Amino acid sequence: MNPWRITYIVLLCTTPFVLIFGVLMMVTSKNFIAASRWHAANGNSVRLPDYDLQVSKWWWQSDLVENDDDEFKSVTLQRANINDASVIIINRNDPKDVPPAKSEQQLLDDIRTTISEMNKDRKGPPVRALRLEKGAVKLYCFREFSFQAVHITCRTPNSPYIFVYSGELRYERECIGILQSLTPVQ
Structural domain boundaries of the chain?
3-184
The topology under which CATH files domain 3-184 is Protein Transport Mog1p; Chain A (3.40.1000)
Chain centroid to CA 78 = 6
38-51 burial code (b ≥16 CB/10 A, e <16): bbeeeeeebebeeb
| Distance of alpha carbon 5 from alpha carbon 3, whole angstroms | 5
CA distances from 12 to 1, 3, 6, 58, 185 (A): 16, 14, 10, 36, 60
CB of 143 within 8 A of CB of 151?
Answer: yes
Listing DSSP states for the chain in one string gives: --HHHHHHHHHHHHHHHHHHHHHHHHHHHHHHHHHHHHHHHHTTEEE-SSEEEE--TTEEEEEEEE-TTS-EEEEEEEE-SSS---EEEEEE--TTTSPPPSSHHHHHHHHHHHHHHHHTT--SSPPEEEEEESSS-EEEEEEEEETTEEEEEEE-TT--EEEEEEEEGGGHHHHHHHHHT-EE--
Say what the pTM is: 0.77
At 35 the pLDDT is 81
At 152 the pLDDT is 92
Digitized pLDDT (tens) for each residue of the chain, 186 residues in all: 677 777 778 777 788 777 776 666 666 567 777 888 888 888 888 888 888 888 888 888 887 777 666 677 788 888 877 666 788 988 887 766 666 667 888 888 888 888 888 888 888 888 888 888 887 788 889 899 887 789 999 988 888 888 999 988 888 898 899 889 888 887
The sign of the CA dihedral 158, 162, 165, 166 is: positive
CB of 59 within 8 A of CB of 174?
Answer: yes
| Distance of alpha carbon 132 from alpha carbon 88, whole angstroms | 15
